[in-house]
Amino acid sequence: MNELGVEPSVTRWNDGEARFLDWTIDGVALRDLDPTQHQTPLFLDDGRWREAAVATLSRLLGDLPGDFDDGRVALLFCPLCGDLGCGGYSVEVVFGDEVVEWRDYGWQYDYEPFDPAQEFDFAVVRFDRKAYETLLRDLLSNYRS
């Protein structure tokens, strides 16, 4: 079983930077698997992405449909605008009775179907469902307040 977590991270570009929580899998930051400037919407110091954070967490919990037509959920977004037309890293989220799987992590645009050739460092990670839901619901509670 894999362990999902979050850790503080920073992304920088020519005229700015953003501080946010990055996803970790077994202690390794998701952005380290395929180095990128893309970020989660889980900002630490900017309330303008609060709605995006709530929506992403709700999608990862299965409470809302995915970001893409095929049901996939975006994990990392463009740091400037958050627009999935710029592309983002996404996963298929599959719920079992005791396990949640993230499958086929890869690059995707909102105007094209997912191309399995764009897969990256993992095909499937499995999380204990109770621990997964506890983490995400705690984060959701923080971003809703």
pLDDT (tens digit per residue) in 13-48:
788 888 999 999 999 998 887 777 889 999 987 677
Q: How confident is the model at residue 120 (pLDDT cuts 50, 70, 90)?
A: low
- Per-residue pLDDT tens digits for 2-13: 999 999 999 887
What was the pLDDT predicted at 60?
98
Q: What's the CA gap between 19 and 40, in Å, rounded?
A: 10
Q: What's the CA gap between 13 and 37, in Å, rounded?
A: 8
Q: Which of 97, 81, 92 is nearest to 119 (CA)?
A: 92
